[in-house]
Structure 1
Amino acid sequence: MVFGLYTTLHNNHNNISKYHDLNVEPVWKMGWTGLGVTLSVLDDGLQYSNIDIGPNYEPSVSYDVADLDAQDTDPSPNMNSSDNSHGTHCAAIMAAVANNSYCGVGVAYEAKVGGVRLLEGAVTDLQESLALSYGLHKVDIFSASWGPKDDGVQVDGPRKLATAAFQRGVTLGRNGKGVIYVWAVGNGGYKGDNCNLDGYASSIYTLSVNSLTEEGLSCFYDEPCSSTLASVYVGGHHHHPGLLKRKARTLNVVVPELNGQCRDSFQGTSAAAPMAAGVIALVLQANPNLTWRDMQHLVVQTAMKTNDTGWRTNSAGFHYHLIYGFGSLNALKMVTAALNWKNVPEQRNFTLKVTGVPRKIEAYKSTVVLTTVDSSVYINYLEHVVVTLTLKHRKRGLLEMFIISPSGTVSQILTKRKNDFMTSGFKNWKFMSVNLWGENPVGVWQLRIINHSNMKGQLLSATYQFFGYHS
């Protein structure tokens, strides 16, 4: 076996805990290699002739939606630019073949992998929706490492057609069990960005993934948000390299380049998402009956605490973190749990409009709005909580927002954004949290808005949407 993904697949670095990798080798030894599972990378193209990818390439789920006029099933990247290697990198992380003495080995090295070429110039809602649905009859897992620009200013997400495509994917995909959408949370942390303002990563339908250094710390670019489910080890720096007196070389992910060479410096949440997708392929081979929600439950129940501080525990006993989600993915724990997994009950949801609004948001003060969920609600096990709100404020980046559950669990759904000087506030924006996973929603909920500005604002409307089941 050629270990190209050193940090994540086989971390034997000095003074590093044995758990500071994906713990995937024992899973391979059990016989789970991704065989029978099909993945698709939605990106800038896929060089399927690449030595690491060719034997596992699946043409039936591949297409070029960047140029719809061509009606082309060839997902090859634009070779006029060396920058168009991103999708090929991600595909190799997921499913590069083993023992070919080339760059590395994929997490699910016997899985099939295809690709949709999407990211070429401006991308429309139609193109996104087609990419999210292409090959739905055969794809088990879609992996994507893109979204709004990570500049700490944007507030954007899927439009009407793409939103419908997500819903169609989790409803019709995998014969009704739902495809798994794995999404990178973004690399805008050093610019003060928050992935809850990325509507792709914060969708309830995506399994969003963040990055870890080889020491189990956050990477300097990691974005905080309450919608992140898990993290994986990709190497890199905890502090921005520009701030380091001595720029020590870190262990990173090895991937094939378009020119036949190997690159040993690929990282970021762009690497984290396909790595997680590879683990999920191993899990699906072990138990093909898992639904898209079962997979999220498995992550929540098996993810491991990392070395950093800032961990909290909710009233259901799950530890969670604003950056790491529920912790680092552990392939062996996930597969072991999946082998005897009982499918979770049918998803239920209900919507509750917040009363007592409009409400003024005073300068340099905390505004608290209380909402009561009564016992008639037929959910006693929460999965996702979504707060949709509209507010006016001329210094949007100086707001923080929290929701506090009836049991007292605090979830920060918005952090301050140092680069966000927009004066438009928020309009029907959905803030999602998984931090309340497993809790009972009955009781009094708090929505707390902290204004760190000398300007007043106004909360115009707010609605809670609770997703979960009744056990």
Structure 2
Amino acid sequence: MERAFHSPHQTISFGPWLGHLGEPFMDFNDPFYNDQWYLRNTGQLGRQGYDLNVTWAWLNGYTGRGVVLSVLDDGLQTTNADIADNYAPNISYSLVKDTKSWNDPSPRIDNTFSNSHGTYCAGIISAVSNNSICGVGVAYDSNVGGVRLVDGKVTDVQEATALSRHIDQVDVFSASWGPTDDGTKVEGPARLTQIAFTEGVTRGRDGKGVIYVWASGNGGVIGDNCNLDGYTSSIYTLSVSALTDMGTSTFYEEPCASTLAGVYVGGEHTLEVAKDRQRRHLESLNVVVPELDGHCSHDFQGTSAAAPLMAGVVALVINANGNLTWRDMQHIVVETSIPTPHALQEPGWQTNGLGKKFHLKQGFGAVNAGRMVEAALHWRNVKPQKVIVVPLFSGHRTFHPSTWMNVSHPVDSSGVPPAQRMTAVEHAVANVTLIHPRRKLLTIFIVSPAGTTSQVLTHRAPDEDKDGFKSWGFMSVHFWGESPEGIWKVAIKDDSGETGYLKKVELTIFGS
């Protein structure tokens, strides 16, 4: 299979550490640090505002020290001056068959094309601080390695190997790739890769589970939906989207009910504004990265940049509390992420039964590293995961054009011993099998007993598939914290005017 890249401050007093803006700050001699507005926004883009609030974590001593991350990408330049001192060779290797040694993850470099994507991501996470080179990594004291994976066709065996190898040493994996964001793919992990995900979250980090951070995808401009990317929509991945400097969604962002939160990377909210900037040759100031030739640049963006930024934040959180499980980390993201005031002006925000605001393109809002670290310091581990399987429909039912088809079933745990009952939902997955000649014009919603409505499928204009879906899992995090008790519903609307058939719908609810 081809793999493609997905290309608010707290008020705290720190005495003498306060800067001229009344905010805590740290200074570094790295020449591009002042361009890293997403780490500390002093108005570099002309409007002082929002950033990842990593300074709070840094000043409290949480810089990623002792945390090991692996970038699953197109390689990693191990000798790069801004990465070398934090490079972790013991977890690095190549799965690409060429003339390079298997333990050399260095990217392909030639006169026509060089793979720099993985090096960019590693620099975003672990760029060395105060070395007078380029910028500063989010977790600048962490160690980063890489797996050279995405360079041509990738097999199930290769993906499974990348996700499961060294899970006894790696704390966080960062991935910025998936099926091509062209609005036609319905593709996810094959059997071995599914097993690898399970192994990672059950055996990794001494049973606490490695954290898989995944980019949500950049296909929104053509109507793609990342719920049809089975990597970023897996319950095992911490899926993040890309936000502008004001916290609004970017024009390329895909709608996706599995996205947990958004990360500041810059860029434009609308395609029209982006095109206008391009026509006027206006310089961009996005994410700072080290180039392969020793120079630096500051125009890396997309959800490809959001994932390693999030991975770096996760490293800070693990540095603060190494006892967190993979589910604890997702809980902390949900609890601490909030939309900015500018983001709330964007249509599409809803509120779930627990009072949490959510959005198809932004999850629960903008990531805030300071809030996450502070929460982690006092965090109690969530109870073991519980699972409820709800059979909603099995048979043969005809879709009628421009009408809704609803299937529902109650969850009643009154007969379940109290210690075994699920009290709070985390993930809900609707596994749907249907036959339809124009699935591009179907919409699917999951509705919880609390009345929260989560759209798990939107129209995808480029999708010309004439078969439908075969047991595809549409995942949503929008019911997070709600009680599972009551009637659950899956609602499907056919806007095509053609005949299709529903075969099976089964809802799996994961929670604690």
- Give the letter aligned to residue 108 of structure 2: N
The separation in 2 between residues aligned to 1:130 and 1:71, in whole angstroms, is 17
- The residue aligned with 1:400 is 443
- Whether 1:374 aligns to 2:412 is yes
1:198-238 alpha-carbon deviations (Å, 9 max, x no partner): 00000000000100011221111100110000111001111
Inter-CA distance 247–317: structure 2 relative to 1 (3 Å threshold): farther
The residue correspondences of 1:17-416 to structure 2 (distance < 5 A) are: 18=49, 20-67=50-97, 72-80=102-110, 82-240=113-271, 241-242=274-275, 248-306=282-340, 307-308=342-343, 309=346, 310-355=348-393, 357-375=395-413, 376=415, 378-416=421-459
The separation in 1 between residues aligned to 2:237 and 2:399, in whole angstroms, is 32
- Whether 1:461 aligns to 2:504 is yes
Tell me the secondary structure at the aligned position of residue 26 of structure 1: helix
| Structure-2-length-normalised TM-score | 0.89
1:289-346 alpha-carbon deviations (Å, 9 max, x no partner): 0000000000000001132332211111221111100111101000001001000000
- The answer as to whether partners of 1:4 and 1:255 remain within 8 angstroms in 2 is no
The separation in 2 between residues aligned to 1:279 and 1:30, in whole angstroms, is 14
- The answer as to whether partners of 2:242 and 2:249 remain within 8 angstroms in 1 is yes
Tell me the secondary structure at the aligned position of residue 289 of structure 2: strand
- Give the letter aligned to residue 87 of structure 2: Y
Tell me the secondary structure at the aligned position of residue 354 of structure 1: strand
CA displacement at 1:15 relative to structure 2: 6.2
Choose the corresponding residue for 2:467, options 398, 401, 424: 424
Choose the corresponding residue for 2:493, options 450, 454, 460: 450
CA displacement at 1:5 relative to structure 2: 5.7
The separation in 2 between residues aligned to 1:69 and 1:387, in whole angstroms, is 45
Tell me the secondary structure at the aligned position of residue 283 of structure 1: helix
- Give the letter aligned to residue 277 of structure 1: A
- The answer as to whether partners of 2:247 and 2:339 remain within 8 angstroms in 1 is no
- Give the letter aligned to residue 467 of structure 2: S
CA displacement at 1:16 relative to structure 2: 3.5
Tell me the secondary structure at the aligned position of residue 7 of structure 1: coil
The separation in 2 between residues aligned to 1:43 and 1:383, in whole angstroms, is 29
- Give the letter aligned to residue 317 of structure 2: V
The separation in 2 between residues aligned to 1:412 and 1:7, in whole angstroms, is 33
Inter-CA distance 220–312: structure 2 relative to 1 (3 Å threshold): same
- The answer as to whether partners of 1:7 and 1:233 remain within 8 angstroms in 2 is no
The separation in 2 between residues aligned to 1:388 and 1:183, in whole angstroms, is 21
CA displacement at 1:10 relative to structure 2: 1.3
Further displaced range: 347-356 or 432-441 = 347-356
CA displacement at 1:248 relative to structure 2: 4.5
The separation in 2 between residues aligned to 1:269 and 1:144, in whole angstroms, is 10
Alignment coverage as a number of residue pairs: 468
The separation in 1 between residues aligned to 2:57 and 2:139, in whole angstroms, is 10
The separation in 1 between residues aligned to 2:207 and 2:394, in whole angstroms, is 40
CA displacement at 1:355 relative to structure 2: 3.0
- Give the letter aligned to residue 165 of structure 2: Y
The separation in 2 between residues aligned to 1:427 and 1:236, in whole angstroms, is 37
Further displaced range: 202-211 or 9-18 = 9-18
1:155-214 alpha-carbon deviations (Å, 9 max, x no partner): 101000011000000001000000000000011000100000000000000000100011
- The answer as to whether partners of 1:4 and 1:254 remain within 8 angstroms in 2 is no
Tell me the secondary structure at the aligned position of residue 382 of structure 2: coil
1:8-65 alpha-carbon deviations (Å, 9 max, x no partner): 10112266354x1101112111111100000000000000100110000000110101
| Consecutive unaligned residues in structure 1, runs of 5 or more | none
Tell me the secondary structure at the aligned position of residue 376 of structure 2: helix
- Whether 1:439 aligns to 2:477 is no
- The answer as to whether partners of 1:228 and 1:434 remain within 8 angstroms in 2 is yes
The separation in 1 between residues aligned to 2:496 and 2:102, in whole angstroms, is 52
| Structure-1-length-normalised TM-score | 0.96
The separation in 1 between residues aligned to 2:134 and 2:222, in whole angstroms, is 32
Inter-CA distance 304–165: structure 2 relative to 1 (3 Å threshold): same
The separation in 1 between residues aligned to 2:353 and 2:327, in whole angstroms, is 21
Tell me the secondary structure at the aligned position of residue 208 of structure 1: strand
- Give the letter aligned to residue 231 of structure 1: G
CA displacement at 1:82 relative to structure 2: 3.8
Overall identity of the aligned pairs, in %: 53
- The residue aligned with 2:4 is none
CA displacement at 1:358 relative to structure 2: 2.3
**RMSD, aligned CA:** 1.6
The separation in 1 between residues aligned to 2:425 and 2:232, in whole angstroms, is 19
Further displaced range: 348-357 or 231-240 = 348-357
- The answer as to whether partners of 2:54 and 2:370 remain within 8 angstroms in 1 is yes
Further displaced range: 61-70 or 423-432 = 61-70
1:128-175 alpha-carbon deviations (Å, 9 max, x no partner): 001111221110000000000000110101000011000000001000
- The answer as to whether partners of 2:411 and 2:485 remain within 8 angstroms in 1 is yes
The separation in 2 between residues aligned to 1:305 and 1:359, in whole angstroms, is 40
Tell me the secondary structure at the aligned position of residue 304 of structure 2: helix
The separation in 1 between residues aligned to 2:173 and 2:34, in whole angstroms, is 23
The separation in 1 between residues aligned to 2:35 and 2:170, in whole angstroms, is 24
The separation in 2 between residues aligned to 1:313 and 1:190, in whole angstroms, is 26
